[in-house]
Structure formats: C-alpha cells, structure tokens
Structure 1
Amino acid sequence: MQSNIPIEHDLIDYNDVISEIFSISFILMMITVNIRLRSESSNSTMVFSGLCCLLVGHCHDLLDEFVLISAQWISMILENLANNLGVVIISIAIFRWSSHYKNQLAILQRQKIELTKASHTDSLSKLYNRRFLHSEFIDQIKNAYEPEQKLSLIMIDLDRFKEINDTYGHLEGDKLIMHMAQIIRDEIRACDYAFRYGGEEFLIVLDADMSTARHVAERIRKTYQESEYYISDERVNKSTSIGIVEYSPRHNFENALDIADKALYQAKNKGRNQVIIADGSKTKVYSGSPVSSNPVTS
C-alpha cells in the first residue's frame, strides 16, 4: 500500500498556500453566517451543502501543497468532484433564491400599486379622491396631453342632498352617493376621470369637447333623475345640478375648476335639475323637468 509522500520544503508554492488559506477562511466565514441565520429553507440547506463541498475541496488543495497524495482517485474526488459539486449546488441555490425574490418583489410591487390606488380612491364612492386630484392629477394631465388639446370639466352636485340626510340619516345619504357614483362610471369611458370632489359633489375630467361633454352630462342628469330609488318603500324624488367648462392643459386648472363650480351654482340658483355650460362670459342652460321641493314622493 502506497503512503502519502511529504513535499520538500523548497518545492512548496507559498503563494498557493496563502491563496488556499484565504479561500478556506472565506468559506468558513460563509458557513458561519449560514448557520447563524438559521434559515430552514431548502435554498439555505443547499448553500450550506455546497460550501461544505468547497471546504473539502480547498482543504485538499491546501494539503496537496505539503503532501503528495499517492492515491489518485482520492485526489480526483477531493479536488475536482468536491469543488465542482460545490459550485453547482451553490449556483442552483442562488438561481432558486433569485427566482423566489423576483416573485417577492413582483408581489410587493403589486401591493404598492394597490396601496397607491387605495390612497387615491374615495372609500365610499370608489372614485378618485380630491387629494389625488390636487397632489398628482393636475400635473399628470399637463404632461400627458398636448397644450392645445380640449378637455371638459363637469362639476356635479346632488340637489337637496342635505334634506335626505336630515330626514333619513347619513347611511341613506351614503347609499345615494354610491348610486350616483355608479351612474357616472357607467356613462364615462376608460380614458376619462371621475372624482368625488367633496360631500355630494363630483367632478369628471372628460377627454372630449364641450358638445360631447354636454351630452354626457345630460345623460347623467337624466339617468339619475329617472332611476328608481327607494327609501323605506318610498320612491325618492331626486335631481342633480351640473356645470361644465372647457379646459386646455396650457391654462390654469384651478381657474377652470372655479368656473365650472360657478356654473354649477348658477344651475342651483335657476331652479336645479339643470346643465349649465360656461362659455366665456356667457352661459348656456339646458334644463330638465322641474323637481318638487319634497325629496320623497309616496
């Protein structure tokens, strides 16, 4: 039986020895970190196994600098197989880890989008909220649309909403707000934006000219008035007042919003249940049927 033969001192390559000692120290440090993390995942176990294989291979390489191992098959197993197997196992673990964290990042990104959407959405109506309008949306439309493009702002307010709140309570008032919000969603397109501006007031930013905006507003007014809505088996007699103004991204959004709001209150002052278009210094009135001052009919 052949024994291992010590290598003469003059033939030892101390550069290789230092390199192997450094590699072994690094591997031991990584094994220590892996143990201290105490992860029970299969990937962590694979990394630990791969590091152990590398440790065996590099320990052999260090020993091989001082002792000539006579059994070649042992040398092949300890050096080539252990090192290569360790690299393969660690590579597989890293690939699986990267796939796992890529999926985790995708989940976090989706959660971030959902949270952002939730912060931009009114919890009752499920339309965009006023905070989103003023914090981001106004800047977005200036960048998304050409300066000369024509948009329309439609401001909507539910008539005599306070009377329903006072008579039947805020829960019924909330249901009426949700009812109007659904009508608005049904009447606008995906490229349009609808906001609950505050209380019983709504805002629509329509990617259309004034003529189209008038037809959309009139459909909303008519649908809301004619839709059957009951409280305690009594049909609610309801209507809405609407103001419209044309807006171009090169102009001041707040000014256009103020004009639309004034047009809305002109509709209120002229008897409610109306659509009023603010066209420069003029206003055009499109009236619906007169509405009783009693919000509920038997």
Structure 2
Amino acid sequence: MYKCDSIPGPTMWMLPLQNQSWVSEFVLLGFSSDPISNRILFIAFLLLYLSSVLGNGLIIILICLDKHLHTPMYFFLCILSLLDMCYVTTTVPQMLVHILAHSKTISFAGCWLQMYIFGALGLTECIFFVVMAYDRYVAICYPLRYTVILSRGLCMRLVAGTWACGFLFSLIHTFFTMRLPYCGPNVINHYFCEGPSVRSLACMDTHLIEVVDLVISVFMVSAPLFLILASYICITLAILKIKSIQARCKAFSTCASHLTVVTFFYAPATYIYMRPNSSYSPERDKQISLFYNVFTALLNPIVYSLRNKDIKSAFLKVMGHSRRVA
C-alpha cells in the first residue's frame, strides 16, 4: 500500500524512534474508484476547469484592452482573475489525470510543492479580498479623491505586499507540515495534497503543528475577514447618508459582487483550516474544498461579468471590433 525509503533516524525532525522510514510518495484517492463515475467526474471537472480559465482569462483580456477599465477597481479585479486561474490550475489538472490514470501517486516533493503553491495562492487571495474591500471603501466614502488615494504606485505596492505575505506564511505552514515524520500509511483521502489531509498521516502527535496552523489562520483568515467586515460597516453607513434611492442602489450593487465572492471563499476555508484534526472528515472535507478551490474560481467571472455593465460594454466593443476586422 505504501512505499518508503529507510533513512537514519537522527536526520528526521522530532522523530522519537531510530529505525523509522520516510514516505517517498503519496497516493491520492480522489472522489471515486468506479470507472463509470470517474468518466462522469472527468467531464464535469474538465468543463468546470475550462470555464474557470476561459472566464477569468476573458476578464483579464477585456481589462487590458479597454482603456475605460484602467482604474484601481478593475486593476484589482484583473489580479483576482489571475489569482483564480493559478489557484484552480494548481489542483484540477492533476486531479483530471488521476481520474483516468491507473496510478494515483504523487512524489513527496510534488506533494510539498502543490501544498505550498496552493496555500500561498489561497492566503494571497484571503489578503487580497481586504485590498478589494478597501478599494470599495475609498470609492464610496471618498469618491472625489478615489484616484488620488489609490494611485498606481499604491496599487502596485498593495498587490506586491499581498503576494509576498501569502507566499511567506504558506512556507511556514508547509515547512511544519512536511517536516513531520511520515513513516506508515501514505494514502491521502483527498484529490490534492491539502495540509490537514496530509498531516493526518503523520506518525506522531500533531497538536503543536495544529497550534501553529491556528495562529496562521487567525492572522491570515480571521484578521482579513474582520477588516473586510469593518470596511463594509463604514461603507454601509456612508451609503445610508445618500439621499437618492437610485444612488444608494448603485452603491450597494458595486459591493454585492465582492461580498458574494468573499462569502463563498471564506466560509468553507474557515471551516477547513480553523478546526482541530479530531474533527477531520475526509469525504466531507473533499466536498467542502471544492467550493473555495473550484467553484469560487468559476463564480468570480460569472458574478463580475453578469452584474457589471462596464465589463459587458467592453466585451461588446471587443466583439464588434473583431467582426469589423473579419
């Protein structure tokens, strides 16, 4: 069932016994072992993946081509779409290969890399939602100074800062998880190398690592969520002061898309990463992880394109220009 390479005990971090072995690869079970079910799942996830990549890619292209969309809000939306494309690509292509392949193994190094990149992009997106909430706060509370406050330089620094924080904190989380001794079963009941799923296979008490993960989650999940809520409280108070009902509706509409995406991302992610290993349920966690991994990446282009007149207008311009050229 598992493949291990024996190595000297003293080289292993926090390993109590000398004659232990180190797992060199993991087996990802995925969702089903039934061939018919796997074919259906392959088609479904392939369509979801292609839709996510094409939808987010289209938003990036439209924002880059249309000069009217060269504002801080659409710059941040472009970065969010790029994040989602990378995020879903970290897990779904490999899952599609494993669905059809007889071998479902992933090397230890490959698992480490997938966990790190997935965590880095996820944490980056957590922080980036705060940046987008701040953008809405400035746009509604200080509309006349919007482009002055959110200058090009500040926008670039905010984006660079979120990416740097995400990749740094993910490195801490991944380092502690993958340095645990994995000396027994190597079958991961998941479709990718997610931290809690991998950690459950460690052959030692993981309480200390859970505490480290909880601290990271508080700073990187709870703190951003609190800042988002604080921003929207200020936004709501500012909107309520607007006398025109039509203006109020327009202001609320600009925030609705962001709040919808934040809810679908934060709710399942908070459940997965802010609870102890004792409540770990493989089948339930696999299904819940789909929401903040696959469905959120698909939801973003749908929500922002269907509810946004500027995106629709840019799309019609591009299509009209393409027809004239043809």
Q: Shared topology, TM-score over 0.5?
A: no
Q: Looking at CA atoms only, which structure, 1 or 2, has the larger radius of gyration?
A: 1
Higher strand share: 1
Higher helix share: 2
TM-score when scaled to structure 1? 0.29
Relative contact order: is structure 1 or structure 2 higher (C-alpha 8 Å, sep ≥ 6)? 2
